[in-house]
């Protein structure tokens, strides 16, 4: 079976079938997700999740490409979407195209994602017209942490609601096949997700169940991250699981119980 494409996800909205998505940065985890997800996002959250950075701003295009290559190797069915990191697309639509082309050429991924609303509609159209499927991302956009003054939920007040709705419409009109709605108060997210003028599929994270699909950061939902936002439901407790295994290993090595005979090689 061939890999899903951006156009297949766009169809899901019309069919009313939910779009399932998670993030992954590694071949092995992506491989587990592959049977269950429609798309896997190689998110720039990898800067914080894998590297302990305080924001996503230091993430480079090279880092994204290396992890996207790993995720492509580990999967065969899901669409792989790759985040454009801060500084790789904002200066001009030409810069955005050159960065996006590198990602698609060097990884084989099927789409890119970029953060921003109406201001980036021009860029979204430029990329789409040139063969790059684009997923938008509005609301709480982590690359704008410095101008937002923190990781803040968006959509409080009528002005903010109107801005977010016009951002979603602009990105959708420009040809984005999907839009991530992150950290947006529920009624506003719902208004966008049910807006007939937004033809792009809406993917929620801290948004609303009315979205066409949902995404979470894998390490957050698995309970591996040290702390996760309120919108994350814990579907696992990997942190405790890993700690238990490591504690037992340390104990057994200390006491000489590991390795046992079955873990050693007899001479021929």
Shortest distance, position 249 Cβ to ligand KIV, whole Å: 31
For ligand KIV, the binding residues in 90-129 under the rule CB under 6 A are none
Other Cβ atoms closer than 10 A to 185: 19
Which residue's structure tokens are 């991250």?
Answer: 225
Q: Which does 205 bind (CB under 5 to 8 A by kind): ligand KIV, Na ion, none?
A: ligand KIV
Q: Which does 10 bind (CB under 5 to 8 A by kind): Na ion, ligand KIV, none?
A: none
83 labeled binding residue: yes
- What tokens were used for 221? 């939902």
Tokens for 35, please give them. Answer: 């049977």
Segment contacting ligand KIV by CB under 6 A, of 43-51, 74-82, 88-96, 248-256: 43-51
Q: Which is nearer to ligand KIV, 44 or 161 (CB)?
A: 44
Does residue 182 carry a catalytic annotation?
A: yes
In the complex, what is the shortest distance from the CB of residue 202 to ligand KIV, in angstroms, rounded to a whole number?
A: 12
- Integer Cα distance of 203 and 89 in angstroms: 22
| Cβ atoms of 98 and 92 closer than 8 Å | no
Binding string, residues 34-53; x marks residues near Na ion by CB under 5 A:
---------xx---------
DSSP one-letter code for 55: S
Q: What angle do CA 114, 115, 116 make, to 5 degrees?
A: 120
Considering only residues 60 through 89, tell me which ones interact with ligand KIV, judged by CB under 6 A: 83
195 is in an annotated binding site: no
Cβ count within 10 A of residue 72: 22
Asked if 220 touches ligand KIV (CB under 6 A), the answer is no
Part in contact with Na ion (CB under 5 A); list of ranges 23-31, 61-69, 76-84, 93-101: 76-84
Contacts 24+ apart (CB under 8 A), 9-18: 9/38, 9/39, 9/79, 9/177, 9/178, 9/201, 9/213, 10/177, 10/178, 10/200, 10/201, 12/38, 12/201, 12/212, 12/213, 13/199, 13/200, 13/201, 13/202, 13/212, 18/212, 18/213, 18/214
Choose between 99 and 191: whose C-beta lies nearer to Na ion. 99
Residue closer to ligand KIV (CB basis): 36 or 258: 36
Rounded-to-integer distance, Cα 154 and Cα 262, Å: 57
Q: Is 43 in the site for ligand KIV (CB under 6 A)?
A: yes
Give 44 or 161: the residue with its C-beta nearer to Na ion. Answer: 44
- Interacting residues with ligand KIV (CB under 6 A): 23, 41, 43-45, 83, 180, 182, 205, 215, 217
């Amino acid at each position: 079976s061939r890999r899903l494409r951006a156009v297949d996800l766009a169809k899901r909205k019309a069919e009313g079938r939910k779009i399932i998505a998670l993030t992954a940065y590694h071949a092995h985890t992506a491989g587990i997700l592959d049977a269950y997800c429609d798309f896997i996002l190689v998110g720039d959250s990898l800067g914080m999740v894998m590297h302990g950075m305080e924001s996503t701003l230091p993430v480079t295009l090279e880092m994204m490409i290396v992890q996207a290559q790993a995720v492509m190797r580990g999967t065969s069915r899901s669409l792989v979407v790759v985040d454009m990191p801060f500084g790789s697309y904002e200066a001009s639509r030409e810069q955005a195209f050159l960065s996006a082309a590198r990602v698609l050429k060097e990884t084989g991924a099927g789409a890119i994602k970029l953060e921003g609303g109406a201001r980036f509609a021009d860029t979204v159209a430029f990329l789409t017209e040139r063969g790059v499927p684009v997923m938008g991302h509005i609301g709480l956009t982590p690359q704008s942490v410095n101008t937002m003054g923190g990781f803040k939920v968006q959509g409080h007040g009528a002005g903010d609601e109107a801005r977010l709705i016009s951002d979603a419409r602009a990105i959708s009109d420009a040809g984005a096949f999907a839009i991530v709605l992150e950290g947006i108060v529920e009624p506003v997210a719902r208004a966008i997700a049910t807006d007939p003028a937004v033809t792009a599929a809406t993917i929620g994270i801290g948004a609303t169940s009315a979205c066409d699909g949902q995404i979470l950061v894998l390490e957050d939902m698995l309970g591996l991250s040290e702390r996760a936002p309120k919108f994350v439901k814990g579907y696992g407790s990997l942190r405790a699981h890993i700690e238990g295994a490591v504690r037992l290993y340390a104990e057994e090595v200390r006491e000489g119980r590991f390795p046992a005979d079955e873990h050693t090689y007899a001479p021929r």
